[in-house]
Amino acid sequence: MAHRNQNRPPGNHPNKKDSAEEIEADKMGRTRAPLTAVVNNASTSNTDGTESNTIEFTKEDIEALLNEKMKRGMASLDHKKKMDQMVDLIKRLKICVRWCFNENEKLHSEVEFAVKKCCDTEIEMYNKTEELSDTISNMRNTISSLEEINVKEKSEKLVAIEDNMKLQQCNSSLQSDLKSANEAYRRLDMEKTIIVESLNATRDLNKELQDRLKSLKDSHSEAIKHKEMLAKEITCLREELKKLMDDRDRLQGQLNAVMLEREKYIKFKYETYSKLDKLASKTEALENTCSSQKEKITLLEKKLCDERKKLEMADLSALKTREMFEEKKNIIRELQDQLADKEFQVVEGEKLRKKLHNTILELKGNIRVFCRVRPLLREDRSETNMVVSYPTSIEMLGRGIELGQNAGQKHLFTFDKVFNHDASQHDVFTEISQLVQSALDGYKVCIFAYGQTGSGKTYTMVGRPDAPDLKGMIPLSLEQIFQTSQSLNDQGWNYKMQVSVLEIYNETIKDLLSNRSSGFDQTRAENSVHGKQYSIRHDKNGNTHVLDLTIVDVCSAAEISSLLEKAAQIRSMGRTQMNEQSSRSHFVVTLRICGINENTEQQVQGVLNLIDLAGSERLSRSGATGDRLKEAQAINQSLSCLSNVIFALAKKEDHVPFRDSKLTHLLQPSLEGDSKTLMFVNISQDQSSIDESLCSLRFAARVNAVKLGSQTVRPKHTQGA
């Protein structure tokens, strides 16, 4: 049960038992206590258990409660605390509001009760006042009647006195009367005293009643005032209540907002927590990274320091390097100048080389003779007697050849080179490669193979097309020309090559690259039909032109080999038709080389003639008749013409019979002047061919003794001729 507050207003106490006493106390003019409420913590023992009934509030408490929010700097607190505080405040506000409600109701009932009590007291007072007024009027009436009586009695007294006088006589008589009258008077006086006393009492009562009425009126007015005050307080309280309700609504709204915010906050909190977790792990990782980065940074700073030092050093060295660079630049400039000089020297050197090469070749002889001995073939194996031997003296080694049987006469010959039966195609080519090079240098070069049929001329010049290792001088020379021309590209040389392939049979030219070419009979027929005479012309520049001859521009050795294949095919077709007559014709491959050097504006025009001559065997040996005789005569004619030309050239005769045969006519520019000629003399080493071999070697020895060009006949060691 709540303890009663000493300052509590009279209507505030729930226990009505005391109200009468209080009213009485009020009646006694006790001053009202100010409207205050104190939170009594001890009141929690209230039986209904509600907090509103257990806590009492003072005005200051409420004000403190209302002002509480403003007092605290909530903004600085975190959300959770804020929330808790808000909830606590709301809780307390709710308690306060509930308490206010209860108090209000109590006040209402107390005010009503007080008003009712006041009304009752008023009515009672009225009744009592009326009673008292009646009593007073009665008293007044009594007094007036008593006064009247008094007056009467006074008059009566006077009368009595008069009477006394009169009666004095009758005093005695009347003494008794007087006595009785005195007694009556005494009685009356007593009565009067009593009446006066009662009047006084009545007056006191009246006064008292008046006072009471006054006090009642005062208390009534006070009660009215109190009522008004209460009413004011009620209005105030209502306003406060309204305010509180507004506040409550506002707070409720705020609470809702706060709740929403709280939900959001909780959501946010959970998100934040998860983020926080992630962030924590990230932070950890970052911290790790940070620490490692810090280490790295310190390392890098150290490095930076070092690098700066290095940079300074490098700057210094860069300065030096720049100086060096300038020096080097100057050196490079000098070197470039030197290079230009050297390049010029190279060009000059190249010119010199050509000149020297030419001189060497000239010294070697502008016409040279190589002898090649064919090994014994399977069909020759029956022959036991070897007719060929090679002198081993230092002077003769590789240059000498001895022909003759052991018993018989021996013939020794020396040539520029003698290839025994073991010499490979490659060995042979090595010796002629420099001569081939001369064609690229702009000379006219002529290489031909001379010898009896079957001595290996075709083998030497063409080789075996089926075996790459057995390629003859023609394909090997052409390949070298292409290879060298390509390597000379670096020096600024650009070469244009043209090839033509022909055959001379019975003083008739056959174009072996013509698409129409076939047999000689056909060729002749075609020549007459198409008017193709293949007439030979030489211009003043020493260039040979064979009219109507197919000339093919070639860019690679592969193209040439395919052209040679084609020519060989056409030639072999002819051979079949002409019954192994290929050895009856001269096979001429001509490569025209035109070189231009873009750098030096030099220009060269070289010609390389590669000729597989017809068999040189004598008519007596072949025993030919008819067409074969004619063929043999034509061959002999052209071969003797060739030797005539060579000897005429050697003797520097005014007239050189070039035009006596198609072959010499064709080769004229390649035999004159500073042109270079190489003759292979092919011989067989079998005994049966000894005579023909001897003839060939004798002819070759004569040729070998000849020096073409500006020089005269060089004395050469020739024996057995």
Interface residues toward ligand ADP, by CB under 6 A: 374-375, 377, 451, 453-459, 583, 615, 682
Interacting partner of 454 out of Mg ion, ligand ADP, none (Cβ under 5 to 8 A depending on kind): ligand ADP
| Whole-number Å distance between alpha carbons of 315 and 309 | 10
CB of 586 to ligand ADP, least distance (A): 11
CB of 462 to ligand ADP, least distance (A): 8
| Whole-number Å distance between alpha carbons of 582 and 52 | 145
Which single residue brings its beta carbon nearest to Mg ion? 458
* CA dist list (Å): 491 to 333, 443, 604: 22, 19, 14
**Cβ neighbours for 133, distance < 8 A, ≥ 6 positions apart:** none
Q: Is 133 annotated as a binding residue?
A: no
Q: Is 455 annotated as a binding residue?
A: yes
| Whole-number Å distance between alpha carbons of 94 and 97 | 5
Which strand ranges, in their side-by-side order, compose the sheet holding 411-414?
388-389, 400-403, 411-414
The reply on whether position 583 binds Mg ion by CB under 5 A is yes
- Using CB under 5 A as the binding criterion, the count of chain residues that bind Mg ion stands at 3
- Residue 436, token pair as written in the block: 């081939």
**C-beta of 49 vs 623, nearer to ligand ADP:** 623
The reply on whether position 455 binds Mg ion by CB under 5 A is no
**C-beta of 447 vs 554, nearer to Mg ion:** 447
| Whole-number Å distance between alpha carbons of 689 and 712 | 34
| Whole-number Å distance between alpha carbons of 350 and 344 | 10
Binding segment for Mg ion among 47-55, 304-312, 355-363, 453-461 (CB under 5 A)?
Answer: 453-461
CB of 422 to ligand ADP, least distance (A): 9
Binding segment for Mg ion among 49-57, 190-198, 452-460, 696-704 (CB under 5 A)?
Answer: 452-460
Q: Is 451 annotated as a binding residue?
A: yes
Which single residue brings its beta carbon nearest to ligand ADP? 456
| Whole-number Å distance between alpha carbons of 420 and 427 | 10
**C-beta of 53 vs 453, nearer to Mg ion:** 453
CB of 617 to Mg ion, least distance (A): 12
**C-beta of 9 vs 456, nearer to ligand ADP:** 456
Q: Is 408 annotated as a binding residue?
A: no
Q: Is 202 annotated as a binding residue?
A: no
Closest Cα partner for 222 from 80, 79, 114, 97? 114
Residue showing tokens 């804020």: 82
- Residue 555, token pair as written in the block: 């860019």
The reply on whether position 485 binds Mg ion by CB under 5 A is no
Binding segment for Mg ion among 70-78, 124-132, 456-464, 505-513 (CB under 5 A)?
Answer: 456-464
| Whole-number Å distance between alpha carbons of 4 and 33 | 13
Interacting partner of 506 out of Mg ion, ligand ADP, none (Cβ under 5 to 8 A depending on kind): none
The separation between CA 229 and the C-alpha centre of its own chain, rounded to angstroms, equals 88
Closest Cα partner for 463 from 426, 517, 432? 426
By DSSP bridging, strand 586-597 and strand 603-612 are: antiparallel
| Whole-number Å distance between alpha carbons of 594 and 494 | 8
Q: Is 417 annotated as a binding residue?
A: no
| Whole-number Å distance between alpha carbons of 466 and 160 | 213
CB of 573 to Mg ion, least distance (A): 16
Bridge partners for 604 per DSSP: 595
Q: Is 272 annotated as a binding residue?
A: no
Q: Is 458 annotated as a binding residue?
A: yes
- Residue 344, token pair as written in the block: 């010029």
Q: Of the candidates 455, 458, 485, 704, which one interacts with Mg ion according to CB under 5 A?
A: 458
Binding segment for Mg ion among 89-97, 162-170, 417-425, 581-589 (CB under 5 A)?
Answer: 581-589
**C-beta of 469 vs 490, nearer to ligand ADP:** 469
| Whole-number Å distance between alpha carbons of 465 and 614 | 19
The separation between CA 650 and the C-alpha centre of its own chain, rounded to angstroms, equals 81
Closest Cα partner for 38 from 19, 13, 56, 65? 56
Interacting partner of 451 out of ligand ADP, Mg ion, none (Cβ under 5 to 8 A depending on kind): ligand ADP
**C-beta of 495 vs 505, nearer to Mg ion:** 505
Interacting partner of 368 out of Mg ion, ligand ADP, none (Cβ under 5 to 8 A depending on kind): none
| Whole-number Å distance between alpha carbons of 587 and 436 | 18
Interacting partner of 9 out of Mg ion, ligand ADP, none (Cβ under 5 to 8 A depending on kind): none
CB of 455 to ligand ADP, least distance (A): 4
**C-beta of 237 vs 568, nearer to Mg ion:** 568
Binding segment for Mg ion among 222-230, 275-283, 359-367, 578-586 (CB under 5 A)?
Answer: 578-586
| Whole-number Å distance between alpha carbons of 672 and 710 | 10
Binding residue numbers for ATP: 451-458
Binding residue numbers: 451-458
Residues contributing to the site for Mg ion (CB under 5 A): 457-458, 583
